[in-house]
Chains A and B, each alone.
Chain A
Amino acid sequence: MFVTPAYGQEAAPEAEGAGSDVHAGTEVPHDAAHEGGFPPFDPATFPSQLLWLAITFGLFYLFMKRVIVPRMQGILETRSGRIAADLDQAAKLKEEADAAIAAYEQALAEARANANAIGQKARDEAKAEAEAARKEVEAGLEKKLAEAEERIAAIKASAMQDVGAIAETTAQAILERLVGKADKTAVAHAVKAAR
């Protein structure tokens, strides 16, 4: 840093920068070894360099400002815009897909509920039918049972009636054998009493 101020004074450093010990060396060689000293510090070339720097740099700056920078800005903006649009579209498509999935799932759930309901109904109907059939069968069976019981009772009654007559005849026959004679009415009374 200490050397910079000495060099900054663009025109002067030819003498200054080289130091006092080469002072003579810088001044003298104008005619000797190097024609015109150290070229970067030769003030004679400054106007031309400055002018051409101004021309070239100025034109370059204008060209950049007018043409290149807007154009590149345009390119980059188009690209970022395009990318953003693509991302938007992708997001939209994803949303659509999500909606489709949701709708599908809802339909699926509905169908499942329907199927359940139908199954339940079928089950209930079958149950009711079976119940009715069972009741019918039971009723039939009971009726048959009652009939059978009635018949048994009737048979039993008739059998009971027959028992008296058989007993009288039997008793009369036994008496006739034993006694030789039998009073029909007395036998009947005796049988009745025994019964």
Chain B
Amino acid sequence: MAADKVDPIHQFHINTIVDIPVGGYDFSFTNSSLFMVVAVLLAATFLYFSTAKGALVPSRAQSMAELTYEFVASMLRDAAGNQGMKFFPFVFTLFMFVLTANLLGLFPYFFTTTSHIIITFALAMLVIGIVIIYGFAKHGLRFLKLFVPSGVPLVLMPLVVAIEVVSFVSRPVSLSVRLFANMLAGHITLKVFAGFVVSLGAMGAAGMAGAVLPLAMAVALSALELLVAVLQAYVFAVLTCMYLNDAIHPSH
């Protein structure tokens, strides 16, 4: 068992850095908190300094920032229309946060905040909470039309409504688990293959030669993880946009 030498789970351990117990709860500043702070600082400094000059003809960094901005803006506009643009700061923040956290997690020895279900679940609940609160505030009870698609025969209605409700309830779950599982599984797989390299390498010359295979696999997996890190941030943002669209235009 690889766990003897290389524990693939070890990377997900949360270590307290500064102990802050408040009223029986542990609000310690941990490595998870540290990397959240680092991710936010990184994203914020990048966005702040790349756009500081506000040049008419953008520099490389500025066009990167502008590209992400335009990317998220068009994503939101396509999904939720111009009315959805009032959620733009939120979606942009969400995208940048998840993206930076995912990418930061790719570095060896770095902690991946998004590989913890509570983080992704909190973000997903934030999204769904905003959808529900905005939906009811904007449309009142007409928001419930979301669960009653038009043009369905009356006989099928209870079934369809039940399906719609279940699909709505499973949204935060699938949204959070998708991101969490991708990050977790990817990092574990990477670690397992890296563990193979180490344990094969310890077996002498033949093992060294054999270790090339898992090493190549680890390299390929790193590339895949880079893709997944960006893609999952994108998927998270796109689904957020779609859910926000439901809050803005409930009758579909």
A and B: bona fide binding partners: yes
CB distance from B58 to the nearest CB of A (A): 8
CB distance from A165 to the nearest CB of B (A): 127
How many A residues face the partner with a CB closer than 8 A?
A: 47
Are B29 and A40 in contact, with the CB atoms below 8 A?
no
A7 to B124, CA, bound (A): 13
**Does B96 touch A at the CB level, under 8 Å?**
yes
Are B121 and A47 in contact, with the CB atoms below 8 A?
no
Are B93 and A47 in contact, with the CB atoms below 8 A?
no
Residue in chain A with minimal CB distance to B11: A39
Q: Which residues of A contact B90 (CB under 8 A)?
A: 61
Q: Which residues of A contact B123 (CB under 8 A)?
A: 53, 57
**Does A49 touch B at the CB level, under 8 Å?**
yes
The range of chain B's interface size is 35 or more
Are A65 and B56 in contact, with the CB atoms below 8 A?
no
Q: Which residues of A contact B14 (CB under 8 A)?
A: 39, 42, 45, 48-49
**Does A194 touch B at the CB level, under 8 Å?**
no
Asked whether A69 and B29 contact (CB < 8 A) given A1-B174, A40-B115, A40-B180, the answer is no
Secondary structure dominating the interface of A: helix
Q: Which residues of A contact B184 (CB under 8 A)?
A: 40
Are B37 and A64 in contact, with the CB atoms below 8 A?
no
CB distance from B88 to the nearest CB of A (A): 7
The number of inter-chain residue pairs (CB within 8 angstroms) is: 148
Query: What are 21 sample pairs from A and B whose C-beta atoms fall under 8 A apart?
Result: A4-B174, A4-B177, A5-B170, A7-B177, A8-B170, A34-B7, A39-B13, A39-B116, A40-B180, A48-B14, A49-B32, A50-B122, A52-B32, A52-B36, A53-B122, A54-B122, A56-B40, A68-B51, A69-B89, A75-B62, A78-B56
The chain A residues found within 8 Å of chain B, CB to CB, are 1, 3-5, 7-8, 10, 13, 33-36, 38-42, 44-54, 56-57, 59-61, 63-65, 67-69, 71-72, 74-76, 78-79, 82
The chain B residues found within 8 Å of chain A, CB to CB, are 3, 7, 9, 12-14, 20, 25-30, 32-33, 36-37, 39-40, 43-44, 47-48, 51, 54, 56, 58, 62, 65-66, 69-70, 88-90, 92-93, 96-97, 113, 115-119, 121-123, 170, 172-174, 176-177, 180-181, 184
Given contacts A33-B3, A61-B89, 10 further A-B contacts (CB under 8 A): A13-B117, A34-B9, A47-B25, A48-B25, A49-B14, A49-B113, A60-B44, A60-B93, A68-B48, A74-B54
